[in-house]
Structure 1
Amino acid sequence: MDSGKTFFGHPRGLATLFFTEMWERFSYYGMRALLLLFMVAPATSGGMGFDDRTGGAIYGLYTMFVYLLALPGGWLADKFFGLRKSIFYGGCIIAMGHICLALPSNETFFLGLLLIVLGTGLLKPNISSMVGEIYPADEQVKRDAGFSIFFMGINSGALISPIIVGYLGETINWHYGFAAAGIGMIFGLIQYRATENYLGTAGLEPTRLADPQQQQKREDSIRVGLWIISIALIVFVALLLTKVIAIDPIVFAGASGLVISIAVVIYFIYIFLFEKLDGDEKKKVFAIFLMFLITTTFYAGYEGQGSSLNLFAKRYTERTFGSFVMPASWLQSAPSFFVILFVPVFTWLWSTLAKRKLNPITPIKLALGLIFMGAGYLIMVGASEIVFKGAKPLPTWLVLTYMFHTFGEICLYPIGLSGVTKLSPKRLVGQMMGVFFMALALGNLFAGLYAGEFNDEAITKDPSLLTVLFGFIVKIMFIAGAIVLVFAKPIRKLMGNIQ
């Protein structure tokens, strides 16, 4: 930053973070595009040969833990490693995970998933925090614009990854695809180290206590805790690899969803009873709880992109054009394309409506998110009717579905994220953001579990099952959207002076 160099008028360090995040998302979305397809592919084609229920459960657990581990990952950065080291260490662990996945072995496959989850939990929350750290406190407007540029980095990686990783994985060798995703992460690490000096002093140190002795005690206790957790993980993995213990992914996934749901309810009960909230704070925290329910419902549908909709693309969509067979994973690039295309449009729309005092209130936007999600799956009901008639629908059906899903996410995700930060009592902001990410984690898990219902054998016998499965999601989204619309004004009152 001291060199005077800039990145589109922003601190040069933004470019360092932009490209690191771009390659990390290249890694993540490459995995997202291939993972379930690889697990349910027959062993004769190089896949793992899992049934749909098992594959869906493992996929749901993987994506769930990616979001859940962002909470301890952020805490470790704040208290022990600092942001800078956390980003680098996380990227290294992700790269090691991909090296494991590149090896054709069931044992290294699960070890690779574990490493990627741990690394992503350490990198993902902290690189976003670093974006805010590189701006002076008096440059809030430029800081917001910087996050918008950073957001484009996320979607750039997500856009190109399924095309490259998907082609290598589906058409040449599954493990080549996983290796390519890992090479992307290594590119990100190299440029991060090469340009790290542009970050100045931002994120070099964790938050320290005023008392040096207390600080040392905290560091020692965290260090001991990390050693204990690391040893426990090594023992656990060793027991799994030697088949001393076995885990049923379907049972474990279902139990995880139940445990997390109960934990969230208990947490909110605790907040209401013991955090000494005043009347206004109680209303706002209850509004956050409602947002949690809405967000979980939305992402249970949205994350079908990497699971049930990915299976539909692979098994039932017409992907042959002349002599070329399009990889099913290529369609995973559509949501990011639409994000890049339509975020400026929606930003302009909300701004224009606000000037005319017509900007929808927050609950209306949340309801629109659910309704757009339902509309997307309604398109899939139409595509399923084509399958029922014995034909294959064109990819345009899925592309349209992803477009509506993107509209829904644009309405819901930034509004929900901003709403939680504004509604939370200041002393609970970090915890409430953790709850928001738990909603995303649960949505991912439910999407993976529901993908298990798309059993190819059962659908081959009765193609109308596709219509029933997608139709169920349509009903859930439309009913949930209607409920939020009906109670929009009461929910708005709970939010008090928060716009």
Structure 2
Amino acid sequence: MNNKSEVSQDKSFFGQPRGLSTLFFTEMWERFSYYGMRAILIYYMYYSVTKGGLGFDQGTAASVMSIYGSMVYLSSVLGGYLSDRVWGSRRTVFIGGVLIMFGHIALSVPAGKMALFVSILLIVLGTGLLKPNVSEMVGSLYDAGDPRRDSGFTIFVFGINLGSLVAPYLVGWLGLSYNFHLGFSLAAIGMFLGLVQYWLGGRKYLSKDSLYPTDPLEPGDMKKLTVRVIVGLVAFGLVLLLMGILGALNINNFVLLLSIIAIATPVVYFTVFLTSKKVTATERKHVWAYLGLFIAAAIFWAIEEQGSSVLALFAANQTNNNFLGLHILPAWYQSLNPLFILIYTPIFAMLWDRWGKNQPSSPAKFATGMIFAGVSYLIMVIPVTMFGTGTKVSPLWLVGSWAVVEIAELLISPIGLSVTTKLAPRAFQSQMMSMWFLADSAGQAVNAQIVKLYTPGNEGAYFMGVAIVALVAGVILFALVKPIKSLMAGIK
């Protein structure tokens, strides 16, 4: 069952193509490995060497966590390019999975900081190759107009959140209760299982079209690409060399350099979109409309992604984790994100369906989401103000904060994906989809710098500052709803 027509007619997986099962479990295991690793990584970085950690200070550990996430989303641009022009989606996903597995294996070896940085490089590249292309392959299972497409993606997204939900409990328990390297080993095993079933299932149930690039490079293009890559690597190397000569080459400055690159990348993209002769006057208005939504999305992701850094620190240091007779491991809080997504998704789907054409516009949904994001951090101000920074507080404060910010995510994330496709200029449709990943990348790049301000005794001011930024952004966006809708020119 390898040709396109046979794949699209297949109904053997809950009425969906059997290939959906292969991609479902591939992404489920990839998310299991990634979110399992992420749940304990910050603790591994700042725990003392005597406790099995690397001994980073907490600010540096939080900063590294943020830039790590930023680079993962930035590398997705590379993954899309290599799939479209070099390897094809199926091979690109497999190579990405192998890199991810070896990245987790590197962390499972007690080889100190060098193993950490090797792991980060491998997982950043691997996730960038795998994540965008798995989603693209799900879409390729269906013919145009196939009514099963939306339900197929719903099942696929459930797999993503299932892996993300379970991983912090299992990897977190093993890593924090016994040994960090055992936890990372479990993440590696998860990715290995995903690769095995992907290899076996892909040969049987995925279209042969996925083996080939959709827009293959011509020989001349390959030479140009090689030259550009070499020039880019040399330039990056020279910058690092200059930093070394000046005595400025350290972790914090290296993170700052990566932050600048992550923020500059979408700036370059928007400049190209707005100045290209391939973009019509109407499409240029659409890009201006999208710019406002992009900035709001970057601010939102900067807040939401602090769950694995700032809130992870709060969970370990300022939360009473003995609750109702249960001892809660700090890593377990990372499951709150996918848990609330699974709870809220059918509610929001029902809500939008019921409102139909009367539902709020995309800019209004974004603005409302920003308000909820700000409120989620106002919740964290309350216990710090009431009880002080030296008192461990109920875990319900963290649960409440996550419950609110995930409302914001469902007002922004799926809406953002949809509006990105609608506002994309015809000449840059694929590259415009990369912009949605770059919003998360830019937000986390900003995070890499501001999380250093989260210090003992400064928690209340930090939470209040982040909340004010989100609330002000929400108010400004509400004021801009009509101008943005005008620029969207009828697109909802």
Change (3 A) 1:44 1:261: same
The SS at the match of 2:148 is helix
Note if contact 1:52-1:453 (Cα within 8 Å) is conserved in structure 2: no
The SS at the match of 1:126 is helix
20, 25, 45: which one aligns with 2:31: 25
Note if contact 1:13-1:199 (Cα within 8 Å) is conserved in structure 2: yes
Note if contact 2:176-2:329 (Cα within 8 Å) is conserved in structure 1: yes
Note if contact 1:89-1:119 (Cα within 8 Å) is conserved in structure 2: yes
The equivalences for 1:197-276 within 5 A come to 197-208=204-215, 215-218=218-221, 247-276=249-278
Query: 2 CA distance for matches of 1:323 and 1:351?
Result: 42
Change (3 A) 1:219 1:265: closer
137, 140, 157: which one aligns with 2:144: 137
Per-residue deviation, 1:396: 1.2
The equivalences for 1:58-207 within 5 A come to 58-105=64-111, 106-139=113-146, 141-196=147-202, 197-207=204-214
- Deviation track 1:149-190 (CA, whole Å, cap 9, x = no partner) reads 111111001000100111111111111111111111001011
Note if contact 2:260-2:445 (Cα within 8 Å) is conserved in structure 1: no
- Deviation track 1:442-475 (CA, whole Å, cap 9, x = no partner) reads 11222343322222xxx2xx3xx21111000110
Query: 1 CA distance for matches of 2:222 and 2:11?
Result: 36
Note if contact 2:20-2:152 (Cα within 8 Å) is conserved in structure 1: yes
AA paired with 2:19?
Answer: G
323, 335, 348: which one aligns with 1:333: 335
2:481 maps to which residue?
488
Note if contact 2:362-2:415 (Cα within 8 Å) is conserved in structure 1: yes
Query: 2 CA distance for matches of 1:83 and 1:321?
Result: 46
Change (3 A) 1:284 1:50: same
The equivalences for 1:267-416 within 5 A come to 267-321=269-323, 325-354=327-356, 357-388=357-388, 390-416=390-416
Per-residue deviation, 1:288: 1.2
Note if contact 1:52-1:454 (Cα within 8 Å) is conserved in structure 2: no
Per-residue deviation, 1:255: 3.2
1:474 counterpart = 2:481? no
Query: 2 CA distance for matches of 1:351 and 1:175?
Result: 46
Change (3 A) 1:202 1:382: farther
1:8 maps to which residue?
14
The SS at the match of 1:317 is coil
Per-residue deviation, 1:275: 2.7
Change (3 A) 1:270 1:93: closer
Note if contact 1:53-1:250 (Cα within 8 Å) is conserved in structure 2: no
Change (3 A) 1:247 1:167: farther
Query: 2 CA distance for matches of 1:448 and 1:380?
Result: 20
Per-residue deviation, 1:230: 13
Per-residue deviation, 1:361: 1.0
Change (3 A) 1:227 1:490: closer
Per-residue deviation, 1:420: 1.2
Query: 2 CA distance for matches of 1:258 and 1:108?
Result: 25
Per-residue deviation, 1:79: 0.8
Note if contact 1:283-1:495 (Cα within 8 Å) is conserved in structure 2: yes
Query: 1 CA distance for matches of 2:220 and 2:210?
Result: 22
Structure 1 stretches lacking a partner, 5+ long: none
Per-residue deviation, 1:392: 1.7
Note if contact 1:316-1:387 (Cα within 8 Å) is conserved in structure 2: no
Calculate the TM-score normalised by the size of structure 1: 0.90
- Deviation track 1:294-333 (CA, whole Å, cap 9, x = no partner) reads 1111011000100100100011101024875321010110
Per-residue deviation, 1:287: 0.8
Per-residue deviation, 1:266: 4.1
2:49 maps to which residue?
43
The SS at the match of 2:358 is coil
The SS at the match of 2:210 is coil
Calculate the TM-score normalised by the size of structure 2: 0.91
Per-residue deviation, 1:438: 1.2
175-184 or 426-435: bigger deviation: 426-435
Q: What is the Cα-based RMSD across aligned positions, in Å?
A: 2.7
Query: 2 CA distance for matches of 1:480 and 1:425?
Result: 26
Per-residue deviation, 1:219: 5.5
